[in-house]
Amino acid sequence: MTGSRVRSGLGVAAIAALLLASTAVPAQDQPPQGNPERGKALSYTCLGCHGIEGYRNAYPNYSVPKLQGQHPEYLAAALQAYRSGDRSHLTMHSQAATLTDQDIADIASYFAGKPLVSSNKAPGSVPQAATLCVSCHGQDGVGIAPTYPTLAGQHEAYIARALDEYQKGGRKNPIMKGFVATLKDADIAVIAGYFSKLQPSLATESRPYTRLTIGRRD
């Protein structure tokens, strides 16, 4: 059993190394630098969902993800996937469809704010179901590379929904598809529960008050 786990760990490490190498981009093809001030101005519609603490997607019902503290590179990649259709969500596709690469970089920079920094250690024992996940998403839930999402403190329902979408093809990522293929519902529940409780946590971006929202608790 120990030898099998070692080989499995080495295999995941090799995949992670290949993915990290694949993120290296020639200087002339570097993505645009994000401008958070411009991103804030562009994000007024995004804040209608992502600026409300605990807001939920109507159908299917799950919590809209927290974005503050996330890697901006990952947020940009996610928006590009919604724009291209590699992620299936009608509202997000409609929002992203008209965005340029510069718009996406600016919005991602604004929502990320100050990304969480990894402590490089687990707060306790990692559940068996999550042992492969931490190879990319970090012992403390902070993604080990800019394009890997940070999961620390993310909504449990959102993590579970994302894993379900990877399993069923709603999100097209060959690496994640391979990892989630054999997960059972109980495994997904354990993984989502583990990462959602990690601290420090991702947060919901504050939505600016208007005359319509002041005095209300969102």
Cβ neighbours of 125 (radius 10 Å): 7
Tokens of 125: 């024992």
Give the pLDDT of residue 1: 43
Residue 43: phi, psi to the nearest 5? -95, 10
Spans of the chain below 70 pLDDT: 1-28, 208-218
Q: Is the dihedral of CA 136, 139, 143, 144 positive or negative?
A: negative
Amino acid at 68: Q
pLDDT in tens, 119-136: 989 899 999 999 999 999
Give the pLDDT of residue 30: 83
Q: Which CATH number fits domain 32-196: 1.20.1740.10, 1.10.760.10, 2.60.40.10, 3.30.390.10?
A: 1.10.760.10
pLDDT in tens, 87-105: 999 999 999 999 999 999 9
Give the pLDDT of residue 22: 41
Alpha-carbon gap, residue 76 to 78, rounded angstroms: 5
pTM of this prediction exceeds 0.85: no
Residues 150, 69 contacting (CB under 8 angstroms): yes
Alpha-carbon gap, residue 104 to 102, rounded angstroms: 5
Domain positions in the chain: 32-196
